[in-house]
Structure 1
C-alpha cells in the first residue's frame, strides 16, 4: 500500500506512535519498541520480517525520538535501530563544546549528520518515497528558538512542491 493510500481518510482509524527525546537515553525507547514490536507481531501472527511501519500510520518524535521515528518510517526493524544506536550512539551523542552548548546545542551536529547520512544517504529528503509512514519531526528553529514541526504529509501547508521553501526538500 502506498503512503497516499495509507493516509487516505477512508482507511481509518489511524495509528500514531509518538517518541520522546533524550539523547542516548533513546536506547530506553528502543527497548520499549522492541517489546511493542514483538507483541504486535504475535497479535497479528506475523513473522520476523514484520516492521512497526506496517502497523503505524504516523510516527512522530523530537530529538532522538525523531531519529528513531525516521528509522521506523524508513522501514528499519527495532533490532536494526538498536544495532545502529549501539554502534553509533557514542559518536552521535558526544557532547558539544562549551561555546556550542552556550547556544543550546547539546551535541555535535556534524557527527549526528554523518551517522544519519550513512543510514539514509546524503541526498535523501523528507519527501523520499522510501518513507513508509507519515513522519513528523519536531526540531528547534535556531533563528527563533521555537519548536519547528516538519512532516512529510503531502497535504501539509509547507509541503506544496511549488513552494520554494517546501519542507519535503529538507534533508532527512
Structure 2
C-alpha cells in the first residue's frame, strides 16, 4: 500500500486498522481497567459491544490476565501491565505489530510465553512484527534479525542483517 500521499485522516484510519503498538513503558490509561484499556482500540473503530467484549476476554485470557479484567494499572504489577499492553496491541488483529522491548518488564517464563504468542500470530495470521529488543532470547526466535549498534546497521556482535 502506497501511503506517501495519504492524508492525515487516512493515516489515522491506517494506524487504527492496520498497526498494533506495544510500548516499552506500557502507555496504559490509569483510570481505565485492564479490560477497558484493551478495548479502547475497538471502541475507536466502532466495533459492536458483543464483539468487543468477546475479543477483550479472549486476549486477556491469552496473555494470562483473564482473572484481572477490572483491575486498574496501578493495581497490576509491571509485568501484568505489559501484558495488558500486548493484549491491547493485538486486539484489532493488526497486519503490522511494532513492539519496543515488549518483554522488558516480564519474568523469563512469561516473556517466553508472550514471544510465543507474538510468533504464533506472525506465522498463523500473517502479521508482520517489528520488535526492538536487547534480549538475545527474543532474537533467537526471530525469523530475521537486524543488528544496529551506534546507528550502524549490521554492526552488532553477530553482524547478521538482511537490510
TM-score by length of 1: 0.33
